[in-house]
């Protein structure tokens, strides 16, 4: 081998080794991408339906109408026995349940509705006068979520808005008659957590004791948000180590931040 070939072989071997090591190091992230985006595309192509339509069909066939607990249990069953979906799932759901029980919020905002699993989870525990505004940018997901909410009988408590989260937050006071938010659930795309919490602050939508609950701060991960919220004197934050949704061998985390700043 001449020196050019030797250098080329060394460079290729080095690149492959580095890429393999990186992929191994990032294997949870890769698994997440596979579950969330790659495998459904293949299945959708083969069946001519979407995962969300398949989930809705399963819910309509198996859940008790007007019974939110049955809708949640059936959705969990679908995700564990049929297809994975990016719902907050049981373990994080129980933490969310506990927050709602303790806080007794009147006005709740969720960013990232998807099929409405966590919206149903939150709204089923709200008092008669309380409400949840949930925001979903994808029209197909929003349409499924509205049907899931209706199946659970919670359409009077949950408003599903199909607009980008930033636009809704800026309109909350004017258009949606919101004064302050008691509970904010951040569960849309992770890089948007920091953008949107800052808009929520600018709009002065938090009051002392408001809770901001952020999902998936480890997988896919929201490091910038964690650094911001933990470094701010306006929040007291607690991290919970939990399993990634429907994956008993993957660790994720959620961050509960209580607002203690000026109103
Ligand atoms: C992880 S899923 C939400 C899961 C849901 N909270 C649950 O636990 O049942 C994230 C959702 O956020 C939506 N999303 C992403 N960016 C958004 C934005 N800027 N505004 C509103 N929704 C957004 C995505 O379309 C996706 O459906
Ligand atoms: Mg999530």
Enumerate residues lining ligand 1, CB below 6 A.
86-88, 111-112, 114, 117-118, 135-138, 141, 164-165, 187-189, 192
**Contact between residue 47 and residue 54 where contact means Cβ atoms under 8 Å apart:** yes
Q: What is the ipTM of this complex?
A: 0.99
Task: Give the ligand 1 atom nearest the CA of 119.
Answer: 9
The predicted pLDDT at position 118 comes to 98
Name every residue whose Cβ is closer than 8 Å to that of residue 49 and which is 6 or more positions away in sequence.
Answer: none
| Nearest by Cα to 200 from 226, 227, 182 | 182
Q: Is the pTM of this model over 0.90?
A: no
Instruction: Report the candidate in 223, 224, 216, 180 with the shortest Cα–Cα distance to residue 200.
Output: 180
190: annotated active-site residue: yes
Q: How far apart are CA 257 and CA 151, in angstroms?
A: 32
15 pLDDT more than 70: no
Indicate the pLDDT class of residue 226, thresholds 50, 70 and 90.
very high
Alpha carbons 99 and 87: distance in angstroms, whole number: 17
Which of these, 79, 168, 86, lies nearest to 132 by C-alpha position? 168
- Ligand 2 center–CA 205 separation, angstroms: 22
CA of 79 to the centre of ligand 2 (A): 14
Strands 107-111 and 235-243, sheet pairing = unpaired
Closest ligand to C-alpha of residue 216 is 2
Position 31 scores a pLDDT of 72
Atom 27 (ligand 1) nearest CA: 114
Domain spans in the chain, listed from the N-terminal domain onward: 1-48, 90-259
Nearest one of 119, 8, 21, 16 to 68, comparing CA atoms? 119
- The residues near 155 (Cβ < 8 Å, ≥ 6 apart) are 146, 149
Burial of 88 (0-12, 13-18, 19+ CB in 10 A): buried
- CATH code, 90-259: 3.40.50.150
- Structure-token pair, residue 236: 């007291």
């Amino acid at each position: 081998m001449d020196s050019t070939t030797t250098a080329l072989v060394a460079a290729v071997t080095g690149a492959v080794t580095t890429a393999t090591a990186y992929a191994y190091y990032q294997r949870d992230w890769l698994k997440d991408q596979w579950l969330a985006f790659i495998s459904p595309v293949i299945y959708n192509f083969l069946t001519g339906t979407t995962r969300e339509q398949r989930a809705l069909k399963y819910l309509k066939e198996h859940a008790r109408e007007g019974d939110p607990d049955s809708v949640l249990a059936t959705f969990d069953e679908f995700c564990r026995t049929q297809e994975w979906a990016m719902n907050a799932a049981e373990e994080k759901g129980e933490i969310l349940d506990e927050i709602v029980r303790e806080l007794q919020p009147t006005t709740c905002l969720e960013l990232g509705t998807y099929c409405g699993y966590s919206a149903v989870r939150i709204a089923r525990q709200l008092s008669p006068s309380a409400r949840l505004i949930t925001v979903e940018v994808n029209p197909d997901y929003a349409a499924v979520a509205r049907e899931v909410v209706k199946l659970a009988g919670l359409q009077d408590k949950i408003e599903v808005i199909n607009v980008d989260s930033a636009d809704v937050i800026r309109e909350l006071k004017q258009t949606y008659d919101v004064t302050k938010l008691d509970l904010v659930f951040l569960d849309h795309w992770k890089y948007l957590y920091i953008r949107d919490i800052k808009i929520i602050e600018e709009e002065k939508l938090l009051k002392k004791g408001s809770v901001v609950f952020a999902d998936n701060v480890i997988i896919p991960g929201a490091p910038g948000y964690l650094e911001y919220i933990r470094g701010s004197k306006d929040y007291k934050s607690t991290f919970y180590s939990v399993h990634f949704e429907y994956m008993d061998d993957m660790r994720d985390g959620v961050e509960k931040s209580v607002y203690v700043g000026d109103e």
